[in-house]
Chain A
């Protein structure tokens, strides 16, 4: 089939960007979307135009490196699918496809379709872990975890950190990403000792970079791992509680 691509080109972070149009006359429906970009890039190289910069790595929907806006939708039209797993059979012959980088102030464009998502790492660094140094763990079966808790934690832990939730959100909020990590750890017994500190510091760190959540739910719709916004509700509830729990503890510290 024949596809026309309108792709955002921007030579560098400070440079002016623009859309450019490229024709792909022979697209196989078994191609993945990124393989189409590869093919266009081969053409461009041949013609002497610099290829489109575009991030991807595992190409099996798990590393979270890829992700672009396709016709205004993060990761394109297929639900529960990362850009790398989107196949051209989802498009029609003659389609015009518009491709842009994630659009969010916290994800500045580096070049063309590549953005900087390091704010996500900063959120995890603030508290997205269980403080357990190597070698100090008890036997694994000494920590009993109800299957339901483990399953729910796994649902949340499936987040691949791609940033589609932020790109989809009209406020560029990162509530789904942050709450997924919080739910993963806070639903498990291992996460309880640091639960209230974790939620407070991670939410506060998130708010340094990202917008506020106004419950649009676009994030859930865009998430390639179909992570539910129920986790945001859990995060919000925990955050309110943390303000009491952490203050009480602070008071004790003062008294001591």
Chain B
């Protein structure tokens, strides 16, 4: 099958403008005739749902939490990028575009990234008008900071809670539409399957998490904004409920999964303290703006950090990358931390961290300024570890955090299944093989506020005066029955192990073999261990209670089952991509200095995988990537 990215012709800076003009419009009076299903209420889902409802469409929104305000976008700390150039430091749409393509290690689609950079400026306007309390200068203008490897200050922020404030802005816009009756909100409702008839997405099947009711919902279009799949690793910075069921079920129904091996391991997380740990906590990488990262020069140094003199510390990022120092991109910072721990220079009781030291910054700027900038992060660290970061250097270690891969979409954000759109982290589109800091919030809101509301019209305009498939149609009935069967399978297994146990085991396999560094033999090992884990899961899962109740173990079982399947595809993708790029580091493919070495000749494409059904290896489709505006170079942050 030929993948058509539908990228419009013309110079890159004109593509989006021209495309918007050429997209068919839906007359305002006709918009109310269209029903839209939105799964997920994070930055992408909530902003899209609110905007589509404002335009006049009828929107049904689904989320598994008890309120749309709790989606995991809320945890993003650092900020949101926009090419405003308010700081007069040489930023521009083209520079943000260039940085993002380069940061993604030349594995993203140029046209999408340029559009992202273009609409970034509108996002800030929209959010400021909503009352998002962005940080301000004394004159009342917006403040910016430099963030995660950027050499310009283009990041807007609201203390260390930018994601929270942007999400609340989108949530409030959503609430306004709920009150107007334009959005029908379904909380504590989980999408368990996608319904396809005649090759077109027609609706979804959901489970009411309080009553267990399995129900079909039908619409003219289905949009997934269900987030990423970092939780396949078990220990990640994602929320407990984050899962890949929405995207995986769509994949099983025909949607291609693109670049699943592109995962981001975030460098500044709190190291795990014991085996009971349920998740890892991220601390904003803005900490790297003022904190200095180091390890003792001597391996297995037993001394406490304050007793290690300056000369016996290795500020390895500053040493290896003089130009960027502690601000190298995430993938580089993470791999370097791993390389230090691999040679026994790790710190802390479990030797699983590196120091992030604020003492120089405190001496330079004073405690007050540091508290103003990072107070809530430093407090959080103290709460979790019981150590005072104003006195003792923090310990950090990388953790799975974001997934660049996701369902394949074209320029219009539509998957290869007509009528199924995918937005935010759930799609694969804009970050290539590595996402830059403060770009996730930008992409989620770009998709939701400014891209999907236009492009969805192109699909809907062709459906004028058609009705959605009725929910008593055979296609819905059949899918409902399959969903019920799957649930009964979990409940009737009556084995001896919890879904959590399987999740932990899966996480160990992925972290060891498909984590920060990957090898052919390791991935092959993972690909033999994952099917064994699956068959154990099928035989030995224990879920108590019934379907007709709030049953958190049952919810978990379904999510873990889908994670096991996706993990296998991640490893398959990682094995096939015999190059290193961004977050995907194959040890066989590195420069003499140990940096990721791409193989542009053979791998400048998007790997889009087509499901061949359970038990069969997925089939690969390639979307070639053309770079007309950015020259491919070896990334260098020296």
Contacts and interface: CB of A to CB of B under 8 A. Distances in A.
A and B from one complex? yes
Interface residues of B, number: 81
Contact of A87 (B84, B240, B384): B384
B129 to A, nearest CB: 4
A57 interface: yes
A188 B131 contact: yes
B291 to A, nearest CB: 19
Interface string A127-163: 0111111111111110111110011011001101100
A242 interface: no
Contacts of B125: 137-140
B543 to A, nearest CB: 9
A70 to B, nearest CB: 15
A191 B273 contact: no
Nearest to B496: A46
Nearest to B171: A124
Interface string B496-513: 101011000000000000
A57 B240 CA distance: 5
B383 interface: yes
Contacts of A161: 67, 69-70
B387 to A, nearest CB: 11
22 contacts: A30-B273, A30-B274, A38-B278, A57-B65, A59-B239, A62-B164, A65-B66, A87-B383, A121-B178, A129-B176, A130-B130, A132-B130, A134-B449, A137-B122, A138-B129, A150-B135, A153-B131, A154-B158, A154-B159, A157-B158, A161-B67, A188-B133
Contacts of A125: 175-176, 178-179
A78 B185 CA distance: 35
B131 A185 contact: yes
Contacts of B544: 45, 48-51
Contacts of A128: 172, 175
A58 interface: yes
Residue from A39, A59, A81 whose CB has the most chain B CB atoms within 10 Å: A59
B211 to A, nearest CB: 10
Interface of B: 47, 50-51, 54, 65-72, 74-75, 84, 86, 122, 124-131, 133-142, 158-159, 161, 164-165, 168, 171-173, 175-176, 178-179, 185, 187, 210, 239-241, 273-274, 276-279, 281-282, 379-380, 383-384, 386, 449-450, 453, 496, 498, 500-501, 542, 544-545, 549-550, 552-553
A134 to B, nearest CB: 4
Contacts of B498: 42, 45-46
B542 A135 contact: no
A145 to B, nearest CB: 5
A96 interface: no
B351 to A, nearest CB: 16
A223 to B, nearest CB: 14
B133 A184 contact: yes
Interface stretch (A109-117, A167-175, A214-222, A248-256): A109-117
A97 interface: no
A17 interface: no
Chain A facing B: main interface SS: loop
B500 A144 contact: no
A235 to B, nearest CB: 16
B74 A62 contact: yes
A117 B67 contact: yes
A64 B126 contact: no
Given A126-B179, A150-B134, A157-B168, A57 B70 contact: yes
Interface in A81-106: 81, 85, 87, 89
Contacts of A133: 51, 54
Given A117-B67, A135-B122, A188-B131, A141 B86 contact: yes
A35 B276 contact: yes
Contacts of B278: 32, 34-35, 38, 59
A31 interface: yes
A132 B172 CA distance: 10
Given A12-B549, A58-B74, A153 B133 contact: yes
B625 to A, nearest CB: 31
Contact of B137 (A56, A117, A126, A147): A147
Interface residues of A, number: 79
A190 interface: yes
A222 to B, nearest CB: 16
A153 B137 CA distance: 15
A158 B125 CA distance: 21
Contact of A63 (B72, B128, B185, B379): B72
A147 B66 contact: no
Given A63-B74, A132-B129, A35 B277 contact: yes
A204 interface: no
A144 B159 contact: no
A254 B51 CA distance: 33
A137 B276 contact: no
A16 interface: no
A230 interface: no
B240 A85 contact: no
B241 A57 contact: yes
Nearest to A85: B383
Given A12-B549, A81-B383, A147-B137, A60 B75 contact: yes
B54 A157 contact: no
A85 to B, nearest CB: 5
Contacts of B500: 38, 42
A74 interface: no
A181 to B, nearest CB: 8
A60 B242 CA distance: 14
Contacts of B141: 141, 144
A143 B129 contact: yes
Contact of B276 (A38, A51, A57, A120): A38
A30 B74 CA distance: 25
A61 interface: yes
Nearest to B185: A121
A133 B282 CA distance: 33
B136 A147 contact: yes
B239 A63 contact: yes
Contacts of B131: 130, 153, 184-185, 188, 190-191
Interface string A180-194: 000011001011000
